[in-house]
């Protein structure tokens, strides 16, 4: 199953908690306060734009992103939001141009590198995407290593590089053991490589953390079948039917499609 690559957004933190002086003396102070106000207003515009975008209201979304850039031309979040807007409406050229503008001023921002990598991967520029993800995880004090390694793994898998995908998924799990869906991805990769015993190891790890799901039971069924354990195959199949009767996997089991 194809999965969307996670995009990363820096938290939009309001500046209302900052202390401001009642009396402003001199032009430098005025400029400083104006800069803070513009940054705050730009963040608010990004929030508004994302709200509109999530509702499918494209025109007001674009307007607010443009205003966010106008108010704070150095706000990377505003450009990231604009790039995401262009991706959403299918304007790849404008998205690419926006990312390149971002890179020229924020080339060491890991969120920019991660999101550009996700964009490149969606457009099958796999080698360049991998380079962006690796640049992201190389940045000091980067806190979202798991997301970038997961993205790198998804992209590697799409490009047919299973060994590299496994390496990246393992690294993502080491940074965030709660990314349990990656355990299912690793189990499926093992099954596709005819390594049923290894797949069962990943599935047991998943079961310990998250219990059963339709996908985990289906993969367990496939692993048991590959290992010739017919009774276990039907145990997992019956569990599918009982716990997830409307799932595609349950219907496939009932139709002997496994």
Q: SS in 3 state form for the chain?
A: CCCCCCCCCCCCCCCCCCCCCCCCCCHHHHHHHHHHHHHHHHHHHHHHHHHHHHCCCHHHHHHHHHHHHHHCCCCHHHHHHHHHHHHHHCCHHHHHHHHHHHHHHHCCCHHHHHHHHHHHHHCCCHHHHHHHHHHHHCCCCCCCHHHHHHHHHHHHHHCCCHHHHHHHHHHHHHHCCCCCHHHHHHHHHHHHCCCHHHHHHHHHHHHHHHCCCHHHHHHHHHHHHHCCCHHHHHHHHHHHHHHCCCCHHHHHHHCCCC
* Cα–Cα distance for residue pair 198/183, rounded to 1 Å: 11
Mean pLDDT of the chain: 88
Using a 10 angstrom Cβ sphere, with 0-12 exposed, 13-18 middle and 19 or more buried, the burial of residue 200 is buried
The reported pLDDT for the residue numbered 189 is: 97
The reported pLDDT for the residue numbered 116 is: 94
Residue pair 189/166 in contact by the 8 Å Cβ criterion: yes
* Cα–Cα distance for residue pair 183/205, rounded to 1 Å: 7
Residue pair 155/125 in contact by the 8 Å Cβ criterion: no
63-77, 182-196, 228-242: segment of lowest average pLDDT: 63-77
81-110 residue pLDDT tens: 999 999 999 999 999 999 999 999 999 999
127-181 residue pLDDT tens: 999 999 999 999 999 999 999 999 999 999 999 999 999 999 999 999 999 999 9
Write the CB contacts of 178 (distance below 8 Å, at least 6 apart in sequence): 209
Q: Which residue ranges form the domains of the chain, and what is each CATH number? A: 34-100 (1.25.40.10)
* Cα–Cα distance for residue pair 81/69, rounded to 1 Å: 10
* Cα–Cα distance for residue pair 167/2, rounded to 1 Å: 19
Residue 134 main-chain phi, psi, to 5 deg: -70, -35
47: left (phi over 0), alpha (psi -120 to 50) or beta: alpha
The reported pLDDT for the residue numbered 39 is: 84
Q: What percent of the chain has pLDDT over 70?
A: 86
pLDDT band at 8 (very low <50, low <70, confident <90, very high): low
pLDDT band at 38 (very low <50, low <70, confident <90, very high): confident
């Amino acid at each position: 199953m194809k999965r969307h690559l996670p995009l990363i957004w820096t938290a939009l933190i309001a500046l209302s908690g900052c202390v401001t002086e009642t009396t402003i003396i001199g032009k430098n102070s005025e400029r400083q306060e104006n800069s803070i106000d513009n940054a705050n207003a730009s963040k608010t515009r990004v929030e508004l734009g994302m709200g509109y975008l999530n509702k499918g209201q494209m025109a007001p979304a674009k307007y607010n992103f443009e205003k966010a850039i106008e108010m704070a031309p150095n706000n990377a979040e505003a450009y990231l939001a604009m790039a995401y807007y262009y991706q959403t409406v299918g304007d790849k050229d404008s998205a690419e141009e926006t990312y390149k503008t971002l890179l020229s001023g924020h080339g060491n921002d890991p969120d920019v590198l991660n999101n550009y990598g996700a964009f490149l991967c969606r457009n099958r520029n796999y080698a360049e995407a991998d380079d962006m993800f690796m640049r992201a995880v190389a940045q000091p004090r980067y806190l979202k290593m798991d997301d970038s390694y997961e993205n790198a793994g998804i992209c590697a898998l799409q490009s047919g590089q299973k060994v590299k995908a496994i390496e990246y998924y393992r690294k993502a799990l080491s940074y965030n053991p709660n990314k349990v869906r990656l355990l299912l991805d690793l189990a499926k990769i093992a099954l596709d490589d005819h390594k049923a015993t290894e797949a069962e190891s990943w599935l047991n790890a998943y079961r310990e953390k998250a219990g059963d799901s339709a996908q985990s039971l289906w993969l367990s069924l496939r692993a048991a079948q590959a290992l010739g354990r017919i009774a276990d195959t039907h145990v997992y199949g019956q569990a599918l039917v009982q716990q997830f009767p409307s799932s595609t996997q349950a219907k496939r089991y009932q139709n002997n499609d496994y």
